[in-house]
Amino acid sequence: MNLFLDTLGVTGGIVLAIVAGVIILTLFYRCLTWMNDAGAKPETLAIRGILKTETLATVHLLGGQVFERVRFIGFTHSESMKMRFPLELNGMVILEDEQRKQFLIRAKNIQMIVIAPESSST
């Protein structure tokens, strides 16, 4: 009986150490993920030398609607299954006008982007 208790004690200690290690690592990686996702900003949209976040542009949509003098702030994008946005809001462009009003429009609805020469020299 003494041998059984000694074996059970050693095996139980090893199993307890493994379980505690898994729990600690799980909590550590969850905290890292939470810190990386907290305050997440939209991905920036910049085309080198042409379209920057401070560039004013005119955006024409497929339905005929026009957004004049807007800036491209970024876009909603999520490659992982743990999305913060509903699926319907994935792939939307974030625009901001001069009064700092923001618009989310579907990227596939953009027909044309016009950049005036004087606004692209910033």
CATH assignment of the domain containing 79: 2.30.30
Say yes or no: 63 and 108 in one domain: yes
| Domain assignment of residue 51, yes or no | no
Residue 121 inside a domain? The answer is no
Q: Residue 52 domain-assigned?
A: no
* Banded model confidence at residue 42, pLDDT cuts 50, 70, 90: low
Residue 61 sits in the same domain as residue 107: yes
Q: How many domains does the chain have?
A: 2
CA distance 6 to 3: 5
- Tokens 């989310």: give the residue: 104
Which residues on adjacent β-strands are paired with residue 70? 57, 97
Q: From CA 92, how far away is CA 109, in angstroms rounded?
A: 9
- pLDDT, the chain, mean: 79
**pLDDT tens digits, 58-91:** 999 998 899 999 988 877 765 544 556 666 777 7
Phi, psi of 68 (to 5 degrees): -100, 145
**Distance separating the N- and C-terminal Cα atoms of the chain:** 83
pLDDT value for 32 = 84
Q: Residues 33, 73: one domain?
A: no
Rounded Cα distance between 120 and 10, Å, is 71
- pTM: predicted TM-score of the whole model, two decimal places: 0.52
Domain that holds residue 18: 1-39
Of the candidate ranges 1-5, 8-12, 52-56, 77-81, the one whose mean pLDDT is the lowest: 77-81
Report how far residue 30's alpha carbon sits from residue 85's, in angstroms, rounded to the nearest whole number. Answer: 19
**One domain for residues 64 and 24:** no
